[in-house]
Amino acid sequence: MTTIGILGAGQLGRMLGQAALPLGVTCRFLDPAADPPAAAVGRCITAAFDDALAQQAFAAGCQALTWEFENVSLAAVETLSALVPMRPGAQALAAKQDRLDEKRFFNDLGIATAPFAPVSSREELADAVASIGLPAVLKTRRDGYDGKGQMVLREPADLDRAWATLGAKPLILEGFIPFLRECSLLAVRGLDGEIRCWSLVENEHRHGILHRSLAPAPHAWVLQAQAETAARAVLERLDYVGVLAIEFFQHEDRLLANEFAPRVHNSGHWTIEGAVTSQFSNHIRAVAGLPLGVTAMRGHAAMINVIGAWPILADLLAIPGTQVHDYGKAPRPGRKLGHVTVVHEDASRLADLIAAIEALVVAAAPERALPRVASGQ
């Protein structure tokens, strides 16, 4: 019996546990939260990630460890890595600690990004704006997520205010590219080095949170190879094992890498129904040292997040072909509670189904209907 220990027990852990069960793989979880979503699929140890006793209990008897959540301390990951193989390895987490390092990491691998510059003083901010131009986005180099720790600079007068708000921390200025769309690629690398990629996905964010993913992304036939080349370079440089997501902006016919997530990712949830093998199953396969499954698509797929409040379940299920994934979390504004997937061979028919699903999720949480926020960068 293979046992995999997973740091974090949120919905990603829950879906990893669901994918592991048919493979005969048992998952166990370490998470500071009581009664987390993954408790339905495996034993959860409730403790801080850096609790030394809990780490011992968590690691004991596991053949491999992984994480579902990258806001784990590098120290905790390194300590655990000394006990049981950690897949992906600590170097994948280390490469994600700092936005500036992450952009440089992409560029070093020949992966294009938007222009960027480090900012550690008011003078450097002025220099960076002079070189990159406006609009631009000023971000903290560490600890930002879901639109927090960043401000858009539209005119010279914005610089002082932004500096006053964010200047206490190391920053990065990123050029604001007029992108056509946001995309992501999910890829997996096995313990033997084999790499497989799923179709490029188009993502729509609202209020800084993923609203919807569509696979394949428009123009995937042009962009898929670019995205896969980038993913392969990242996976190989990090000697990565497991699933990784790279988020891109599409600018004309080019993909500019924005960031990567060293884990299974919300923009890959469609793979449960929409691909031969899901991101969750392939992550478990990779971490357990098993052969990877086929990542081919099974039609056009859409995933819509359920955020803040649930529509009536029967209404969602009455839309033909919908599959609902409830994470078992108490509703709270802005909280990801679940997602809905629909797959159809006909993209135009799929659009009708998506519209019906979106009407329900927006009616349940009307704040989601607000116009799209343009500061997705």
Closer residue to a copy of itself, CB minimum distance, 175 or 242: 242
Closer residue to a copy of itself, CB minimum distance, 246 or 292: 292
Torsion of CA 119, 122, 124, 125, to 10 degrees: 70
Long-range contacts (CB closer than 8 Å, 24 or more residues apart) made by 130-135: 132/173, 132/174, 132/175, 133/175, 134/176, 135/176
155: its two tokens: 């005119």
CA 322 and chain centroid, separation: 23
Closer residue to a copy of itself, CB minimum distance, 83 or 290: 290
Helix (H) or strand (E) holding 56: helix 52-59
* Rounded least distance, CB 68 to a copy of itself, Å: 17
* Rounded least distance, CB 167 to a copy of itself, Å: 45
Burial class for 167, CB neighbours closer than 10 Å (0-12, 13-18, 19+): middle
* Rounded least distance, CB 360 to a copy of itself, Å: 13
153 contacts 135 by C-beta, under 8 angstroms: yes
Residue 330 neighbours by CB under 8 Å, 6+ apart: none
153 contacts 164 by C-beta, under 8 angstroms: no
* Rounded least distance, CB 296 to a copy of itself, Å: 8
Closer residue to a copy of itself, CB minimum distance, 19 or 177: 19
* Rounded least distance, CB 87 to a copy of itself, Å: 16
Closer residue to a copy of itself, CB minimum distance, 61 or 321: 321
* Rounded least distance, CB 325 to a copy of itself, Å: 4
CA distance 204 to 304: 10
CA distance 352 to 301: 12
Strand order in the sheet with 25-31: 43-46, 25-31, 2-7, 64-67
Give me the residues that bind a copy of itself (CB under 8 A), please.
18, 21-24, 40-41, 276-277, 281, 285, 289-291, 293-294, 298-299, 313-314, 317-318, 320-326, 328, 338, 343
Closer residue to a copy of itself, CB minimum distance, 171 or 303: 303
Closer residue to a copy of itself, CB minimum distance, 149 or 274: 274
* Rounded least distance, CB 138 to a copy of itself, Å: 40
Cβ-count burial 108-121 (b if 16+ within 10 Å, e if not): eeebebbbbbbbee
* Rounded least distance, CB 341 to a copy of itself, Å: 10
Cβ-count burial 244-283 (b if 16+ within 10 Å, e if not): bbbbbbbeeeebbbbbbbbbbbbbbbbbbbbbebbbbbbb
* Rounded least distance, CB 328 to a copy of itself, Å: 7
Closer residue to a copy of itself, CB minimum distance, 46 or 323: 323
Give me the amino acid identity at 190: G
Closer residue to a copy of itself, CB minimum distance, 41 or 153: 41
